[in-house]
Structure 1
Amino acid sequence: MLIKEELSRYNRQMILPELGLTGQEKLKAAKVLVIGAGGLGCPVLQYLAAAGIGTIGIVDDDVVELSNLHRQILYNHTDIGQPKAKIAAEKLQLLNPHVGFSAYHERFRADNAVNICQDYDLVIDCSDNFTTRYLVNDTCVALGKTLIFGSILQFEGQVAVFNHQGGANYRDLYATPPTENINCAEGGVIGILPGIIGLYMANEALKLICGIGETLAGKLMTVNALNNAVLVFKIASEKPANTAKPGPDKTDKAVPEIDSTTLDRWLETNADEVFLIDVREGYEHEDGNIGGINLSLYELRESLAAIPKNKKVVCYCQTGQRSKMAVQLLVGVYEGEVYSLKEGVT
């Protein structure tokens, strides 16, 4: 259950109908493992933490070096020589104290891979070498974990979602490791590229966790930052991924709604039995409202004493999205009738 501070913190993304309160609670319940806290890991970690992922594991045996700082912007000059996993967890905890972090200052190896991965729902590979990439893939296949993959070199990056619902995995794309391993230290990388690719990876994670949108499951996306070319390829696999879009969450209960005509009728005939709550923020209420009291979305649970139990409670906002979340928040903790004003005051 989200607390008041979380409702306020995540308000701007929760009002998206595709995400909503249910999606935010899924993010809070999620456990995500990020392998590698370097160029790709930094933006992935920052945006997952900011989005409200409940538990994040960080695996990296490296320390911060001066040559990292042009692209690994989670760190600064004072962090040089410090373990990346530990420093990343400390900085991210300051970014979002509602997220739990586990730092693994060790190399991801065959003898610890299963123990590290097994307790996480989703694995994100931000490593920079083929040995680790194949080990991460094979571990996820063995454990049945969905894997988000990313890679960068020079001006080009790749993003894919592997092993989702038993679909294509990394070995379907690259069956065996190449004989040469050219990394950023040898081939170079433009500092902005890991930010671009890392954000795509974080976005895939949010979609997978919330069950929204179309993901890169069974696909490979390439991005060229030099000429702005973006291509998406299907990955051949003997066992293709289930690409069907998720249906409605059957655990969600329909939110009781009324339209403005019904509200007008109630107010005309039995105004004393109706209690209006504007769940927008204070400045919005001051700019214009249709009456009642102003209790912002994230104040509701702590303000139940201000809501009478012997009236029909109608929550409203600008468009009807926040008011639906307000009703969801009140269900189970409020004993009386509560409704959302469909389409809001617009």
Structure 2
Amino acid sequence: MARPPLVDVGPELSTSQVERYSRHLLLPGVGREGQRRLANARVLVVGAGGLGSPALLYLAAAGVGTLGVVDADVVEESNLQRQIIHRQSDIGRPKVRSAAETVREVNPYVRVVEHELRLDSSNALELLRGYDLVVDGADNFATRYLVDDACALVGIPHVWGSIFRFQGQVSVWWAGEGPCYRCVFPTPPPPGSVPSCAEGGVLGVLCAAVASVQATEAVKLIVGMGEPVLGRLLLHDALSQRWDELHVERNPECPLCGDHPTITELIDYEQFCGLPTQQEDDVHAMLPTVTAPELAQMLRDRPESFRLVDVRGEDERSIVSIPGAEPVPLEEFVSGRAASRFEEGEEVVIHCKVGGRSATALQALIAGGHTNARHLEGGVLAWVREVDPSLPTY
């Protein structure tokens, strides 16, 4: 059933706005009043990436009066396969700046607020208090829990989306009105158990399918029409072109929105999600490394004297690989099985994409007693950047 409009009616529309939004004005449930609510709405989009890009474009075209966009990244060429708000000429520029310029070109009546920062516990509450709702396009679990908690503490809904490979999920989380994200996903998955899109890939057009639903839900909530997906979790499989639906309920024992909530302030979400702490980062920083130029020299002078190991998946290796590297899955290092692959004292150099997974593998190998090992600082991306720029990156 429809819920009361989230946003009050704003000022009268100009003649130009009436013409621009005329197809909305003809719709039962929107009309002139609904369009004035949209023009008076303030929506924060978290992430100007795969989901944020199409969501921003459709919300701008719909006439949402104020669009905030928060992102700390710059545009990379690998983004352009799905992040349609950016262009080739934007590579290297901050995503928020690129996105804001495109939005202003789509609709000059939209005010864009650029938040070029990393959303975290120190700034989330203050930032969210300036908005009516959040469209969450975050690509990591720490930010998803952060947004859920912050929205609950501020008292606003957020429209959440998630994508991976060929599958997507959408729901509206709203503490006090229905379940929140924590009600359905009380604990994050173990670190590394769910590959990122950078590791596992994503079908570019899937972003449009999921983000268009997110934008639709935002418009419905603002105007107060239709039935929002509150208490429902939509599951999309692009390969079968099927949408499924799960009924989800508020958890009375939820620490955020349950009968006796214990979360009254924002926490350390990277720690909550099991991401490396500063102490663990310091341990990784102390591990022995080799630079890309040093590795290139080793491969030229003495390629038979050491083992070069790639812990990435097959799909990643098919994009770019270092000549002579042999694949050994990271899981084998973590479980300890990889130790049997190497002779005592044999020199080993491990690498991954940027150095995080190789550090984990090296730490496990050293803990198992193999000390003559190092990992490639900066991973295969450093190899491309410093040794062979003709190779692709991802």
Shorter-chain TM-score bucket reads 0.5 to 0.7
Query: Of 188, 196, 217, which residue of structure 1 is paired with 2:230?
Result: 217
SS at match of 1:82: coil
Instruction: Give the conservation status (yes or no) of the 8 Å contact 1:40–1:126.
Output: yes
What's 1:205 paired with? 218
CA–CA separation in structure 2 for the residues paired with 1:182 and 1:133: 16
Query: Of 131, 148, 159, which residue of structure 2 is paired with 1:148?
Result: 159
Instruction: Give the conservation status (yes or no) of the 8 Å contact 2:178–2:249.
Output: no
CA–CA separation in structure 2 for the residues paired with 1:57 and 1:135: 17
CA–CA separation in structure 2 for the residues paired with 1:176 and 1:142: 19
Instruction: Give the conservation status (yes or no) of the 8 Å contact 2:70–2:118.
Output: yes
Aligned length: 241
Query: Of 194, 200, 206, which residue of structure 1 is paired with 2:207?
Result: 194
**CA-CA distance at 1:186 after TM superposition:** 0.8
* Counterpart residue identity of residue 10, structure 1: Y
Equivalent residue runs for 1:103-252 within 5 Å:
103-163=114-174, 165-180=176-191, 181-238=194-251
CA–CA separation in structure 1 for the residues paired with 2:232 and 2:31: 27
**CA-CA distance at 1:64 after TM superposition:** 0.4
Equivalent residue runs for 1:45-56 within 5 Å:
45-56=56-67
* Counterpart residue identity of residue 158, structure 1: Q
SS at match of 2:228: coil
Q: Deviations over 1:67-102 (max 9, x none)?
A: 000101111111000000111011111110101110
SS at match of 1:110: coil
CA–CA separation in structure 2 for the residues paired with 1:114 and 1:18: 32
**CA-CA distance at 1:165 after TM superposition:** 4.6
SS at match of 2:162: strand
* Counterpart residue identity of residue 236, structure 1: E
* Counterpart residue identity of residue 16, structure 2: E
CA–CA separation in structure 2 for the residues paired with 1:19 and 1:63: 37
SS at match of 1:2: coil
Query: Of 82, 85, 89, which residue of structure 1 is paired with 2:93?
Result: 82
Q: Deviations over 1:241-283 (max 9, x none)?
A: 9xxxxxxxxxxxxxxxxxxxxxxxxxxxxxxxxxxxxxxxxxx
What's 1:69 paired with? 80
What's 1:5 paired with? 16
Spell out structure 1 runs of 4+ moving beyond 2 A.
238-241
* Counterpart residue identity of residue 226, structure 1: L
**CA-CA distance at 1:166 after TM superposition:** 3.0
Question: Scaled by the length of structure 1, what TM-score is found?
Answer: 0.68
Instruction: Give the conservation status (yes or no) of the 8 Å contact 1:60–1:105.
Output: yes
* Counterpart residue identity of residue 45, structure 2: V
Instruction: Give the conservation status (yes or no) of the 8 Å contact 2:85–2:98.
Output: no
CA–CA separation in structure 1 for the residues paired with 2:113 and 2:40: 15
- Identity within the alignment, %: 45
Q: Deviations over 1:303-340 (max 9, x none)?
A: xxxxxxxxxxxxxxxxxxxxxxxxxxxxxxxxxxxxxx
Equivalent residue runs for 1:270-281 within 5 Å:
none
CA–CA separation in structure 2 for the residues paired with 1:174 and 1:164: 14
SS at match of 1:38: coil
**CA-CA distance at 1:164 after TM superposition:** 5.7
Instruction: Give the conservation status (yes or no) of the 8 Å contact 2:152–2:175.
Output: no
Which 5+ residue runs of structure 1 have no aligned equivalent? 242-346
What's 1:57 paired with? 68
CA–CA separation in structure 2 for the residues paired with 1:5 and 1:204: 26
